[in-house]
Amino acid sequence: MPSGCDDEELPWSRVGETYLDTKYAYVCHAEMNAIMNKNSASVKNCTIYVALFPCNECAKLIVQSGIKEVVYYSAKNGESMEAKASRKMFELAGIKYRQHIPKEEKLVIDFSVINKNKSQPTGMKASATAMRR
């Protein structure tokens, strides 16, 4: 939900009596949050990593921000009109897009191992490794 709007006052439902009774009128997508919360750094020529292929509204933000590559995990809505519009905008703007296909189906991070080495300064690479199952 947009910053400054109380999440408890807005609907989270996918269905409702009207459009205004659903989350779709209010929710901010991950792409919007990433671009808008970039802490004043430029995202020009950067790569954005997202779970779902961007909708057309997020594609507009991506194009306008100067991002040059989109890496997405799932294109479950890939044949929707919104996704087709996104692809068209990306192609016209010269933005590369590709699906990330992980080598492993699951990645588990064991925080108990990470927490054993609490003396390590913040920002240093953790000595713990992710366990693959």
Annotated active-site residue in 9, 31, 79, 104: 31
Q: What b/e string do you get for 3-28 counting C-beta neighbours within 10 Å, with b at 16 or more?
A: eeeeeeeebeeeeeeeeeebeeeeee
104: annotated active-site residue: no
Structure tokens at 9: 């006052």
- Residue environment code for 97-122, b if the CB has 16+ CB neighbours within 10 A, otherwise e: beeeeeeeeeeeeeeeeeeeeeeeee
Residue in the block written with tokens 């479950």: 76
Residues 6 or more apart from 98 whose CB is under 8 A from it?
69, 70, 71, 72
Residues assigned a catalytic role? 31
